[in-house]
Amino acid sequence: MAFTQPPLPYDFGALEPYNMSGRTFEFHYGKHHAAYVNNLNNLVKDTELADKTLEAVIQISFKDAAKVGIFNNAAQVWNHSFFWNCMKPGGGGTPTGALAEQITDSFGSFEKFTTEFKAAATTQFGSGWAWLVKEGDTLKVTKTPNAENPLAHGQTALLTLDVWEHAYYLDYQNRRPDFIQNFLDSLVNWEFVAQQLAAA
């Protein structure tokens, strides 16, 4: 059973009116994400991991020095598939319902959450990810280097932003803070985030 790359939940150009270009998706989804899937399949072929779920492969291979390559590719496959769903055309703004209530309970206000999230995404040195996660009964903002993700740390991912340079360089060059702000203002799919919270 080979791992596959899920289809994007929208067309390559669907986020262009919201400052994320189709050309970025040609490279980010069409090249980077696809390469992680191909690499993972090659690495686990004929091993005991070949028939495991993607989540199981991530948890088994994390911090196993002999499986660093497997972890990096498996986690990046999962991270990217999750990231695409965290965005939608005309997204952004503020969440509602139970998600909004839990964000307020955990951070004090939605504005304090966005301040923490922007700080995590801006200060992740080099390549990595910013996350909103559920840990126990509370929500937290975290950041992870390279391919690491909440699954590896026993947390439930609710929202992520990819801050690897290839996620934004074609559209924003070195202006990572502008990319982060645009993500929050115009792209976040709060309905997807609420679904992850309800299922947690």
Detail the residues annotated as belonging to a binding site for Mn(2+).
Answer: 28, 80, 162, 166
Reported residue count of the chain is: 200
Q: What is the DSSP letter of 188?
A: B
List CB contacts of 130: < 8 A, sequence separation 6 or more.
117, 120, 121, 124, 141, 142, 143, 160, 161, 163, 180
Number of other CB atoms surrounding residue 60 within 10 Å: 15
Binding positions: 28, 80, 162, 166
Query: What sections of the chain are H helices per DSSP?
Result: 22-27, 34-44, 54-61, 68-85, 97-107, 110-123, 169-172, 176-182, 190-199
Look up residue 79 and give its two tokens: 């991270």
Listing from the earlier edge strand, what are the strands of the sheet with 138-145?
138-145, 128-135, 156-162
Separation of alpha carbons 197 and 104, rounded Å: 14
